[in-house]
Amino acid sequence: MGGGAAIAIHGRFRVVTDNTFFAMPETALGSFPDVGASYYLSRLPGFFGNLSSILNAAPYFDIIVHIAAGEYVGLTGARLDGAEMLACGLATHFVPLEKLSSLEDALCKATTGDPKIINNIILHDFSNKNPTLKEKSHYFRYVLTIKFATVCCRLKTINSCFSRRTVEEIISALEEGDKNMDDWISWTIQALKKASPTSLKISLCSVSTYHALDFIYI
C-alpha cells in the first residue's frame, strides 16, 4: 500500500498472489501518490477489462479512448487484489499462493540472472495467466458480473468523470450519474468526499500530468 507499493512497482518482476492487495490511500491521509506512483497510475489502460476488446467496441458505444483508471484508483483509494493488479498491468505475474515456496526455491537454484530465463521460470512453471477475481473485489463486482455493453457504459462513465480537469468537476459529473442510484457511483462519491480536498487536487494534477511524460522526466 502507498509508498511501499510505489517502491516495489518499479521492479522488473512484480509477482502477486491470492493474498496480495494494492491501494493508494494517500488522499484519505492528507498525502498523494508519490515515489513515482503517479507515473504508473497514469498508465493503467487495462483496468476496466480487456483493452483491445473495449477499443474495438469504442465506436459503437461512443467511448472516450483515454482511460482514466489511474485517476480513479489514485483519488478514491480503491483496493485492487492480485488478479486485478495483473489485469491492469500493475503486476507482471500471478502465482497461486500454494506455489510461492516452490517458486522461491526454483529462483534460488537458478544459475543465471538473465531476465528472460527468470521470466520463463516464473511464467511457464508457476504463474496463472487468468486468475479468478474475488467476488468482493471492485473489478469483479462492478465490471465482470455485468454484460459487455454495460461494461462499456461503465468505462464511459469512469472516463468522462475522471478525465475532468478539476476535482469539483469530477464529483459533479459523478453526482449527475448518481441520479440512477448506482451503488458503485455512490461509493465513489463518498470516498472522494471523505478524502482531503488538497490531496485530491494534488493527486489529480500529478496523475494527469504524467499521461504525457516519459519515465525519464520523473
The tens digit of pLDDT for each residue in 144-167 reads 444 444 444 566 777 888 888 899
Three-class DSSP category at 44: coil
Q: Is the pLDDT of residue 193 over 80?
A: yes
Lowest mean pLDDT among 78-92, 128-142, 193-207: 128-142
Three-class DSSP category at 154: helix
- 46 DSSP assignment: T
Q: Return the pLDDT at 43.
A: 80
Q: Which CATH architecture has domain 2-94+135-217?
A: Alpha-Beta Complex (3.90)
What is the overall mean pLDDT for the chain?
75
Output 129 or 106, whichever has higher pLDDT.
106
- Give the residue from 126, 167, 151, 133 showing the smallest Cα distance to 54: 151
CA–CA separation, 209 and 197 (whole Å): 18
The model's pTM is: 0.73
Averaged over 104-121, what is the pLDDT?
84
Strand partners for 94: 16
Residue with cell string 474495438:
56
CA–CA separation, 48 and 25 (whole Å): 20
The tens digit of pLDDT for each residue in 24-63 reads 889 989 988 887 788 888 887 543 444 444 444 444 344 4
Residue 80 contacts residue 21 (beta carbons within 8 Å): yes
The angle that helices 69-76 and 167-177 make with each other, rounded to 10 degrees, is 100
CA–CA separation, 156 and 168 (whole Å): 19
